Chain A
Amino acid sequence: MLTRMARLPRSFLFPFALAALLIALAACAPAATPTPSTVTLTFYYPVAVPGPITQLIDGYITKFQQQNPSIKVNAVLSGGYGDTLTKIQTTIKGGGTPPDVAVLLSTDLYSLVDSNAVLPLDDNVKAAGGDSFLNDFYPAFLANSRYQGHIWSLPFQRSTPVLFYNKDLFKAAGLDPSKGPANFQEMVDAAKKLTKGDGSTWGLEISSDGIPYWLFQSFVIGNGTNVVGAGANKVTFDAPPTVQALQGFADLSTKYKVMPPGILQWANMPNDFVNGKAAMIWHSSGSLANILKQAKFDVGVSYTVGEKGYGAPTGGGNMYILKGIPADHQAAAWKFIQFMSSTDVQADWSTNTGYIAARQSAYTTQAMKDYIAKVPQAAVAPAGLKYAGAELATHNNAQIQKILGDAVQAVLTGKAAPADALKGAQQQADQVLAAFKD
């Protein structure tokens, strides 16, 4: 064997020699670290907002590893939320080992429990202080963490929709730039004054592509109701205040003519806003940093509204521990998600991205206070969490969210009346959810 290899040209052997060297090095590496029993965690995280997300995450991991020398975290950028969920679900279906920790939508809870993919965190939470540990998290962000008497995830990157408005255009139109509209009627009145008839400036733009149900929930919650709440197998799409909310959404372009007709694209909203094409937009609080960076005017931030006042759903991702990982990994994984949802990390994460810190104590840290002194708009979204309701989350979530989204789009494109569309959506949703007991 050796003699035969010796006859091969040097260039052919080089890769093998290199590989052998690397394997030897890799074999030596663990021996070099002080603790022989290192646990290596795999952590999947999606990127959903612009910014140097990877650098931030890597920074937190370095800090975590310094504090916990026996744990190594392998962070894997796993695409978008949908890709991450798909990767994990197909791994489990195929009999493979899932990552130890993953950031997934808070609303993926029921799908994950249904496919037996995640571990309940009750014992860990109890050991960390039980309710006194949980009470520091904003209650709105824990709304989609509890199911069947268990707690399944900790909030990590959370947001709500907010209303961004152009203070310069407000002043020019004779409106008070110190505050945004307090309810639907005020928003329409302001938008009428802001809209220029030639189409160069619209009073308001609210997107309705991608996940239309999300911003629609702002109208619904602002109308004093919600589309979910009575259980993971129940939705109420066709209640009168919800029909009214959808009518209001459609009226913005058809009756009041303060918004462009048709389906508006989520990705275009910040551009239209910073270019002065739209005087007000509804967008994720997570877009704040990006909008402030680009806008050449004074940006106001307020709350999304319905007829009865402010209202918004929550949004964003939580951290889950996956099932089927070894026991020592479970303990390490809990340490890791506790660290990532800690006050300091959440404060830093929030100031660098625009996500709302998941813990109330994050807003008492010096770093956060300094940031808010500089960017007062960042204080708006967390203060508005008291108006927030639960995001639409049920069993078979993607399908239920699509059913409601389709009804919203059907009405906004003039294909159906709100009452009919929502009644149809309710029937479809009932049919899908009939297979689930609770």
Chain B
Amino acid sequence: MTLPPRAHVTRNERRFRFGAAALPYLLISPTLLFVTVFTLWPSVRVLYDSLFLQNQAVQVPRFAGIENYTALFQDPAFREVIASTVIYVLATVPVSVLLALILALLLNRKFRALGFYRLAFFYPTVLPMVSAATIWLFMYTPGYGLVNVFLEFFHLPSQNWLGSTNLALIALIILGIWKQTGYFMIFYLAGLQGLPHDVFEAAQLDGASAIQTTRYLTLPLLMGTTLFVTTIAVVNAFETVDQIYIMTGGGPNNATAMLLFSLWQTLFSFLDVGTASALSVILIVVLLIFTATNFVYTERRATYE
């Protein structure tokens, strides 16, 4: 065994090398600290807690392996939770992203009252979700709510939006789309304004129609924005909770009990720490898989741009 040639390195040099090596760690340490304390540690802790039974009947945590998970997957109510979450994701994400793109394309030119329209579509984003949910709760009220007054104007029957198992989730989906479309529109507007002019001029010279330009130039060039916006939309959809708490309480008959709301209810209403931890782990895993897939996909796409 040979010793490293320490004798050649002076004390000052060693100090310098150590400093140079430590600098990057020093620079990321504040972030690392926060990520560890507020993200990594809670994730590990929740994974650990999910392996224990801890609820109203079992006050002292008892190791249970994957029992919390098997119980969840055998529970028909959990299947309903997954189903309504998936429906909500599949409905809000494509519609709000597509609507945002269309609005951005329409508003990305010069005409009168442009600022007014941009503001009108963006303002739902500025409202806190709790206020928005309270406003929509009133709009959906049978009898005097705005939505029903609108329906009756066209001689359509008034609906008990939040009191019907079929309509309650749709009512939340409409609110979700209304709330986030303006936000995504801003990203698309920014994306559109950052596009290179030369390719569009070339297309114009070649006599490409507006539809062709949009189809073959604008959309592919906006792919980065689309992926970013989609990621946010999916995360938003999974993290839907405020409006459920305010508008439906998960009802009627669990029709609007989505994943995060169900987690909140299991922990703070049922005081079931084990099951709530298992639900958290499931939520984290789903979001991790989605984000990782999206990240890999984005990396690959980036080379074509």
Contact = CB atoms under 8 A, between A and B. Distances in A.
A413 B253 contact: yes
Size category of the binding interface on chain B? 20 to 34
Nearest to B250: A402
Contacts, number: 80
A399 B270 CA distance: 6
A182 B3 CA distance: 100
A260 B161 CA distance: 12
13 contacts: A115-B59, A209-B162, A263-B252, A264-B160, A265-B162, A268-B142, A396-B57, A399-B272, A406-B254, A413-B164, A413-B165, A413-B253, A415-B165
A114 B59 contact: yes
Nearest to B58: A435
Contacts of A199: 158
B224 interface: no
B253 A415 contact: yes
Contact of B251 (A261, A272, A409, A435): A409
A261 B167 CA distance: 13
A262 B268 CA distance: 28
A435 B58 CA distance: 8
A116 B253 contact: no
Interface in B232-285: 248-249, 251-254, 268-272
Nearest to B272: A399
Interface of B: 55-59, 141-143, 158, 160, 162-165, 248-249, 251-254, 268-272
Contacts of A395: 56-57
Interface of B is mostly: loop
Q: Which of B248, B249, B269, B272 has the most CB of A within 10 A?
A: B269
Contacts of B251: 209, 263, 405-406, 409
A111 B271 contact: yes
Contacts of A82: 268-269
B255 to A, nearest CB: 8
Interface in A65-104: 82, 86, 89
A256 interface: no
A405 B59 CA distance: 26
A264 B163 CA distance: 6
Contacts of A86: 268-269
Contacts of A402: 269
Interface in A96-139: 111, 114-116
Shortest beta-carbon contacts, A-B, top 5: A435-B57, A263-B163, A262-B163, A262-B160, A409-B253
A398 interface: yes
Q: Which of B162, B249, B252 has the most CB of A within 10 A?
A: B252
B252 A261 contact: no
Interface string A378-411: 0000000000000000011011001001100110
Contacts of B142: 260, 268
A211 to B, nearest CB: 9
Q: Which of B56, B143, B162, B270 has the most CB of A within 10 A?
A: B56
A262 B270 contact: no
B162 A263 contact: yes
Nearest to B165: A413
B252 A114 contact: no
Contacts of A396: 55-57, 270
Contacts of A405: 251
B164 A115 contact: no
B143 A272 contact: yes
Contacts of B268: 82, 86
Nearest to B75: A428
Contacts of A409: 165, 251-253
A114 B165 contact: no
